[in-house]
């Protein structure tokens, strides 16, 4: 019987700090290839997938799934150039900065609204009143 060389899903999870369910999800959406099974039925992952999974975890930097998929397709084909990756990263950074600015506006609005509230046991609440009249952001 042929011996399978590789690591089990739990080992892959431990080596990368990734949740088992997340690994299954990445397989389902095609970011990780489906692993072959050993003779005893266990899924056996290639040790090279440790590096790929760590790359996919760039999602922790706010990359969307499609952005990760796009970057992986570049590296999978060997078609990447530093200039192209830099351009994509600059776009991502702009998006992150835009989201930070939006969150800062939300913080100011919530803090201002909260400061107007007395917290008394009365029916009138400045927070509820303010929420009814928030300006449309056009998102």
Task: For residue range 70-116, list pLDDT tens digits in order.
Answer: 888 888 888 888 898 899 999 999 999 999 999 999 899 889 888 98
The pTM for the full model equals 0.69
pLDDT band at 136 (very low <50, low <70, confident <90, very high): low
Please, what is the angle between helix 9-16 and helix 20-28, to 10°? 110
Q: How far is CA 120 from the centre of its chain?
A: 41
The contacts of residue 5 (CB under 8 Å, 6+ apart) are 44
Average per-residue pLDDT in the chain?
A: 87
26 contact partners, CB below 8 Å, separation of at least 6: 32, 53, 56
If you average pLDDT over residues 31-48, what whole number do you get? 87
* pLDDT band (50, 70, 90) for residue 57: confident
Integer Cα distance of 90 and 87 in angstroms: 5
């Amino acid at each position: 019987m042929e011996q399978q060389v590789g690591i089990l899903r739990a080992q892959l999870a431990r080596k990368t700090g990734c949740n088992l369910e997340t690994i299954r999800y990445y397989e389902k959406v095609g970011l990780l290839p489906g692993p072959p099974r050993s003779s005893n039925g266990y899924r056996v992952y290639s040790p090279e997938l440790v590096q790929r999974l760590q790359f996919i975890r760039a999602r922790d930097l706010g990359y969307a799934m499609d952005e990760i998929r796009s970057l992986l397709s570049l590296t999978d084909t060997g078609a990447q150039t530093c200039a192209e990756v830099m351009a994509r990263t600059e776009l991502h950074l702009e998006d992150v900065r835009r989201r930070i600015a939006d969150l800062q506006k939300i913080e100011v609005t919530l803090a201002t609204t909260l400061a107007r509230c007395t917290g008394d046991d009365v029916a009138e609440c400045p927070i509820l009143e303010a929420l009814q009249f928030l300006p449309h952001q056009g998102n």
